[in-house]
Amino acid sequence: MNEILEVLLLFGVGIITGFINVMAGGGSTITLPILIFLGLDSSLANGTNRIGLLSQNIFGILSFKKENVSQLKLSVKLSLFTLPGAIIGAIYATKIDDALFQKILGIVMIGIVITMFIPNSKGYIEEKINTKLPWAIYPVMFALGFYGGFIQVGIGFLLMLSLHRILRLCLLYVNLHKVFIVMIYTIPALFVFAITGNVNWFYGISLAAGTGLGAWWSAKIAVKKGEKVIKGVLIVAIIIMSIKLLGVF
């Protein structure tokens, strides 16, 4: 495949995954196989994918901001607790048993779908949190930071579940914080991959151009269409990802 076709492929895939990742998650299950198909080993693909992730989340945040959806103080607070875990996870990112990992992750994703149908008796907070954050959110953010730095695949679903159930935020604000958190911890993770030579910048920038565009429009649609559309996209994305990871097709 020549370079022009590679750029077009990555740009197109980037648009799709940027849209999916901001609205729901699971885009890395598309981008990583594509990068490996183009000849990168798993570590190099993992590092290169972070450029697209950084771009999508920057543009997603800017798009949310333009739509007057922002909770900067809470976003920063949650992000800071993911940083130590993300740095450790990126440093110790190594090859794992792919078959076992995919099956475990597929089961986790199905569990997330089930929880989406369980009503929260306390209801959800539409906008601001005026009380002290539940203590459980802090170790959860550290653990998710480690997972995101180490593997990344499926982190969007796990962050959405955690913020939705623990903080009782509606899905629009869950998405806002998710995008900000992933942007912040991706910066040191990308740095670790870069200094260890695990980033292909040509592929990464080609992918990032598409993810940024997809993320921009995804955030706009999320704000305008509301929670029902977000939940619908989220459930469909998780089901497709789970079936793929479990090897059903």
pLDDT in tens, 19-66: 988 888 878 878 888 898 898 887 888 899 999 999 999 999 999 999
pLDDT by residue (tens digit) across 193-227? Answer: 999 999 999 999 999 999 999 999 999 998 887 66
- Per-residue pLDDT of 109-143, as tens digits, reads 677 667 656 665 554 445 555 457 889 999 999 99
* Residues 245, 26 contacting (CB under 8 angstroms): no
Following DSSP, what letter does each residue of 178-224 receive, concatenated? Answer: HHHHHHHHHHHHHHHHHHTT---HHHHHHHHHHHHHHHHHHHHHHHH
CA separation for the pair 84, 80 (Å, rounded): 8
Q: What is the tens place of the pLDDT at every residue in 90-100?
A: 887 756 665 66
Task: State the Cα–Cα distance between residues 74 and 42, nearest whole angstrom.
Answer: 34
- Domain map (residue ranges) of the chain: 3-245
Question: Whole-model pTM?
Answer: 0.83
Q: How far apart are CA 87 and CA 192, in angstroms?
A: 8
